Structure 1
Amino acid sequence: MKLRLSRETLAEAVSWAAHALPARSAVPALAGLLLTAVQDGAGAGSLAVAGFDYEVSARFLAEAEVDEPGSALVPGRLLADLARALPGGGHEVELVAAGSELTLRCGPVQFELPLVPVEDYPHLPALPPVLGSVDGGLFAEAVAQVAVVAGRDETLPFLTGIRLEFSPRTLRLVSTDRYRLAVRDIPWTPAAEAAGAEPEKPQEPVDPVVALVPARALHEIARSLAKGERIAVSAAPDDSAPGGGLIGFSAGGQEATTRLLGADFIRYQAVFPTAYAGSAVIERQPLLEAVRRIALVADRHRPVRLAFTAGRVTVDAGAGGEARGRQTLDAVFPATAEPITLAANAGYLVDGLSALPGEEVELHYTTPTRPAVLTVAGDDGYRYLFMPLRSA
């Protein structure tokens, strides 16, 4: 294998593929990045850099000047470190694999890296069939908003995932840790519609295509994909079919796949109240700062309280014999409404208020012990539900 490409392109390709390198692995080959140089009939060349850990794969396809096609398996972390450290100044990078070594040259710098036998590397999964596409920046924002509540308990796999529901017009993302629930709806374009077919008009509601994706992997993929492009989403949710139980994402030269979680999600729609007793509108940033500030005097096992009265909300924490704090903010809360106090985990409030994008938030409530929901004022495209606590 022998090829040349720009230093910047190599660094970008290696950085992307390194997302799939395992932190530790009993299989030495998985610690490597697979480099594959090809040349088509017209003489155009390309380099594919890929990483895989049996759960997540990442592949970057870049243009390259290929003299000798071939493959090489190179120590991944080392190559990533070297790619970042190569000298600038417009130098090209030359990669030459011969015998048991890969020679990397960039201007006055040269490295020799040991090669791992390519035949030891597992077969990389192919992208499943394309379902449709979504705006990259909007998708990354939505994933971040719901990933904040995903659980960490590996003994309950569904808590560690983000549920994706692909309906004819809407992509819904849902996650929960049992104490909180986040739902975000964003527009997307099905593949058939993008190809020019008339949108289907079913007489009866059609069940959405559903995929439960590991939250940590999806968050990393979404934030790393090119934000200025549309992301093609590929999925084979049925793990009984060839290539099933897999979802893929691609944009530009970047591709990634991850295995789906084989677990049933909760009936989350039933968790939301069917009706609210009332709501209050508050400026988001001042409320976020107040919760952070007042939480400093609260024991981690005690809640922060939000007390709503006509035209205001008081954030307070602490009790007799302890440190106490309070701050009062303006709020749109009717004088005719019954005052109410909600006690909540301060971290949960901070997470929800941080995830909301608007200048004003609306807190919807029923009773002090039933679920409350935060949204952007006048917009329920993102709903953050949390369980109030018993006030101390």
Structure 2
Amino acid sequence: MDLDLTAPTASLASAVADVTRLLPTRVIEPVLTGIVLRGDAEGVTLSGTDRERGIRLWAPTLCHVDGEVLVPAKPLAETLRTVDTPEIRLVVEGSRLAVRTPQARFALPLLDLDTHPGVPAPPARLGVVAGGALRAALAPVAAAASRDDALPVFTGVRIASEGDRLVLMASDRFRLATARLPWRPVDTTPIDVLLPANTLAEILRRIPDGAEVGLHADEDRAALTWERSGLITALLATPFPSTDRLLSVTPDTTAWVEADVLAGAVRRALPYTGPHGLISLEVGDAELRVRGVDSQTGESEEMVKAVVDGGRPTRRFQARNLADGLKAFAGEQVRLAVPDIDRRGTVLTGEARRDEVELTYLVAPSRGGGH
């Protein structure tokens, strides 16, 4: 096995760290804790898999000797993270991969590359979406998914096509985020898959704004590919529940407000939301009143200017759920559509955007302690 390359430390460390985060730390097959480095004239490709997910990331390097090696991922990531030189050299020396700086040498054992399963090729490509629009849509949607593995359907992001629009959707049962964005399908084959939200969130920042992202899927797997990089993952088998009834709300009251201003008021109320983290949102004639009350810490009240139409209801929310919903509309005016039935969720929508991403965020009301 041969490999000799010089790379900018920061970009290589970032790519290695992102691959490592998606690899298992405790497995029956120790080879799966390794990272494959393949260097050639175009740079270095870093890849790894846990058999459920596979990732391949590209980083710029000057490759002196082409080659491919397998080394323990975590020690390599930790070493690169702590090195403070602008460039670093990786070179095979006997049975070790040496990580060299002008002042230091670190040596990692070479693992048996032949025993590594490799990252499988993605399924057929079904369409293409702009990287910047996908990032803008996927970030708030993935954040709305549950972290509770006991309910796997709510840990995923549903990605489905509707003609020339792609629809992303996720929920943790107490909030629901959906985003619609343009895409270019390859043919008439639709896409409708449920992917792990945490996996998508981990890889999101690696997608450049100017990249075209390919969407691939078959009955068992789905993949995102861009430039020389990609992510492939097994699908979550559970079907995502229908949400049409939740979003088809005829509001009794609407209020337009600066999302950042209202989010700031909600954050400032957090110390006064009690053990269950609840706030009250009262609709006034030309303002929204954010209230927090706790018998131990006291109470807060802040008014935020708004353009109001309709009734004057009061709703209680989990403060952090409302704050997360408003964060998705940072820098925008947001419309709150409040239904006349207090058991129905309040729907947040924003202004028309240049990237044509249409975001909708539903926050369920709280009627008592907790959710």
Pick the TM interval, shorter chain: 0.7 to 0.9
1:28 counterpart = 2:5: no
In structure 2, what is the equivalent of residue 197 of structure 1?
Answer: none
1:7 corresponds to 2:4: no
**Which of these residues, 20, 29, 42, is aligned with residue 18 of structure 1?**
20
Distance change (3 Å), C-alpha of 1:108 and 1:288: closer
Check whether the contact 2:48–2:118 (CA below 8 A) recurs between aligned residues: no
Are 1:255 and 2:257 an aligned pair?
no
**2:4, 2:66 within 8 Å by CA — same for their partners in 1?**
no
Following the alignment from structure 2 to structure 1, what is the Cα–Cα distance between the partners of residues 278 and 142?
A: 23
> Does the 8 A contact of 2:317 with 2:366 survive in 1?
yes
Deviation (angstroms), 1:304: 1.2
> Which residue, out of 313, 330, 335, partners 2:288?
313
* CA offset digits 1:41-63 (Å, max 9, x no partner): xxx57643211112221113466
Match of 2:349 among 375, 380, 385: 375
Spell out the pairing of 1:341-360 with structure 2 (5 A cutoff). Answer: 341-360=314-333
**Which of 155, 162, 165 lines up with 1:160 in the alignment?**
155
Instruction: Mark the runs of 5 or more structure 1 residues left unpaired by the alignment.
Output: 39-43, 193-199, 201-206, 239-244
Hey, what's the Cα distance between the residues in 2 that align with 1:76 and 1:104? 13
Partner of 2:364: 387
What is the rounded CA distance, in whole Å, between the counterparts of 1:319 and 1:67 in structure 2? 65
For residue 313 of structure 2, what is the aligned residue in structure 1? 340
Once the two structures are TM-superposed, the CA of residue 97 in structure 1 deviates from its matched residue by 5.7
Distance 1:300 1:7, change over 3 A: same
SS of the residue 1:357 aligns to: coil
Other-structure match for 1:190: 185
> Which is further off, 286-295 or 379-388?
379-388
Q: Which moved more, 1:1-10 or 1:136-145?
A: 1-10
Residue 198 of structure 2 is aligned to residue 216 of structure 1: yes
* 1:318–1:122 Cα change, 3 Å: same
Worse-matched range after superposition: 377-386 or 60-69? 60-69
* Counterpart residue type for residue 78 of structure 1: P
Structure 1 pair 104–388 and aligned structure 2 pair: CA distance change class (3 A): closer
What CA distance in whole angstroms lies between the structure 2 residues aligned with 1:306 and 1:92?
A: 54
What is the alpha-carbon distance in structure 1 between the residues aligned to residue 65 and residue 263 of structure 2? Answer: 58
Taking structure 1 as reference, are residues 265 and 74 closer, same or farther at Cα in structure 2, changes over 3 Å only? same
- The CA distance in 1 between the partners of 2:255 and 2:316, in whole Å, is 15
Compute the displacement of 1:351 (Å). 0.8
Mean alpha-carbon deviation: is it higher for 2-11 or for 308-317? 2-11
Aligned residue number for residue 55 of structure 1: 52
Report if the CA contact (8 A) 2:345-2:362 is conserved: yes
Does the C-alpha gap of structure 1 residues 120 and 287 become closer, same or farther in structure 2, counting only changes over 3 Å? same
Q: What TM-score does the superposition give when structure 1 sets the normalisation length? A: 0.83
Secondary structure of residue in 2 paired with 1:333? strand
Structure-2 change in CA distance of 1:5 and 1:321 (3 Å): closer
State the alpha-carbon separation in 2 of the partners of residues 34 and 6 from structure 1.
16
- Which amino acid in the other structure matches residue 216 of structure 1? N
Offset of residue 19 of structure 1: 3.6
> Structure 2 stretches of 5 or more lacking a match?
none
- 1:72-83 residue pairs with structure 2 within 5 A? 72-83=69-80
Separation in 2, partners of 1:35, 1:180: 41
Distance across 1 between alignment mates of 2:155 and 2:186: 28
Amino acid in structure 2 at the alignment position of 1:356? F
User: 1:241 maps to which residue?
Assistant: none
Contact preservation (8 Å) 2:123, 2:217: yes
1:338–1:227: structure 2 CA closer, same or farther, 3 Å change rule?
closer
Corresponding residue of 2:96: 101
Q: Retained in 2: the 8 A contact 1:3–1:64?
A: no
Indicate conservation of the 8 Å contact 2:352/2:358, yes or no.
no
In the alignment, is the contact (CA less than 8 A) between 1:7 and 1:83 conserved in 2? Answer: no
Aligned twin of 1:284:
259
Contact 2:277–2:320 (CA<8 Å) still a contact in 1? no
Counting matched residue pairs gives 362
Post-superposition CA distance 1:349-384 (Å, at most 9, x none):
111111113431111011223221011157892111
Give, in angstroms, the shift of residue 286 of structure 1.
Answer: 1.7
Shift of 1:28: 1.2
1:130 correspondence with 2:125:
yes
Query: 1:72, 1:97 within 8 Å by CA — same for their partners in 2?
Result: no
Give the conservation status (yes or no) of the 8 Å contact 2:252–2:311: no
Identity of aligned residues (%): 30
Give the Cα–Cα distance (whole angstroms) in 1 for the partners of residues 337 and 42 of structure 2: 57
* DSSP 3-state at the match of 1:7: strand
Larger radius of gyration: 1
Letter in 1 for 2:70: L
In the alignment, the residues of structure 2 paired with residue 120 and residue 307 of structure 1 have an alpha-carbon distance, to the nearest angstrom, of: 62
* Distance apart, 1:175 and its partner CA: 0.4
